Homo-oligomer: A and B are copies of this chain.
């Protein structure tokens, strides 16, 4: 390991040992020079790298501060996000129902959901707040024919998981999701809902969930504040996937 890499490790260890929390101030550059026993040039390079990685932020004339750590999100776990988010016991997750609309499917949605052109769908828009901070925006589009009075169910209990409701009320249980993840610049809506500064990026996961009968249930789009999340993926052998496909059909 180079001096530079060792200095990065030194700072990361310091953060962990001192149990620094979000917003905590780090030692000054001269203090780090003395503590790590390396040159000012090396300390500055190491801090620049940690800032580029989003671990710390440097404020002109004020010093260096610890950014909040990322929440790990399980992308290969089915259904509602609550169980798939790696939250500690002190974190709270709140769901706010932003919109619940009955409308005609677009051409693309009809094709994705395998329904007739302009068939009716529910569009459900929700915001997830972690510890009071808006972090995730989810839009779900569900064929009305599968869940005719979904609107009433969701309005009566907005905190209840959409997937739990679909399963309990309509017998629609997800068995598989096809998802696509992109990293892109925040647009106007993301900025407004997630309160992102200019130039920030989001992670967008779009996909379809399927029932045990391979029926598309939900065309979804989930937008995450990119700097707040790490996505865990687990890769299973292709043979297992094939076996599941055969058993279901």
Contact of B235 with A78 in the complex, beta carbons under 8 Å: yes
Contact of B76 with A180 in the complex, beta carbons under 8 Å: no
The B-contacting residues of A in range 216-236, CB under 8 angstroms, are 226-227, 229-236
Q: Which residues of B contact A203 (CB under 8 A)?
A: 183
Among residues of B, the one whose C-beta sits closest to the C-beta of A210 is: B235
- Whole-angstrom distance between the alpha carbons of A108 and B153 in the complex? 49
Partner of A241, one of B5, B9, B236, B238: B236
The reply to whether the CB of A25 lies closer than 8 angstroms to some CB of chain B is no
The tally of residues in A whose CB lies under 8 Å from a CB in B reads 54
Partner of A230, one of B103, B180, B237: B180
Q: Which residues of B contact A72 (CB under 8 A)?
A: 180
The B-contacting residues of A in range 164-179, CB under 8 angstroms, are 175-179
Contact of B233 with A179 in the complex, beta carbons under 8 Å: yes
Q: Which residues of B contact A5 (CB under 8 A)?
A: 106
Q: Which residues of B contact A231 (CB under 8 A)?
A: 180-182
Using known A-B contacts A181-B181, A199-B199, A240-B244, determine if residue A235 contacts B76 with beta carbons closer than 8 Å: yes
Contact of B236 with A49 in the complex, beta carbons under 8 Å: no
Contact of A233 with B182 in the complex, beta carbons under 8 Å: no
The reply to whether the CB of A188 lies closer than 8 angstroms to some CB of chain B is yes
Q: Which residues of B contact A184 (CB under 8 A)?
A: 52-54, 226-227
Contact of A183 with B226 in the complex, beta carbons under 8 Å: yes
Contact of A233 with B236 in the complex, beta carbons under 8 Å: no
Using known A-B contacts A54-B184, A106-B1, determine if residue A244 contacts B235 with beta carbons closer than 8 Å: no
Contact of A227 with B48 in the complex, beta carbons under 8 Å: no
Using known A-B contacts A188-B49, A203-B183, determine if residue A78 contacts B238 with beta carbons closer than 8 Å: yes
Q: Distance in Å from the Cβ of A216 to the closest Cβ of chain B? A: 14
Using known A-B contacts A5-B106, A238-B77, determine if residue A182 contacts B229 with beta carbons closer than 8 Å: yes
Interface residues of A (CB under 8 A from B): 1, 5, 9, 48-49, 52-54, 70, 72, 75-78, 103-104, 106-108, 175-188, 199, 201, 203, 205, 207, 226-227, 229-238, 240-241, 243-244
13 A-B residue pairs with CB within 8 Å: A49-B187, A52-B184, A53-B184, A53-B187, A72-B180, A76-B233, A76-B235, A78-B235, A177-B234, A178-B233, A181-B231, A182-B231, A199-B199
The 5 A-B residue pairs with the shortest CB-CB distance in the complex, in nearest-first order = A52-B187, A183-B226, A177-B235, A181-B231, A179-B233
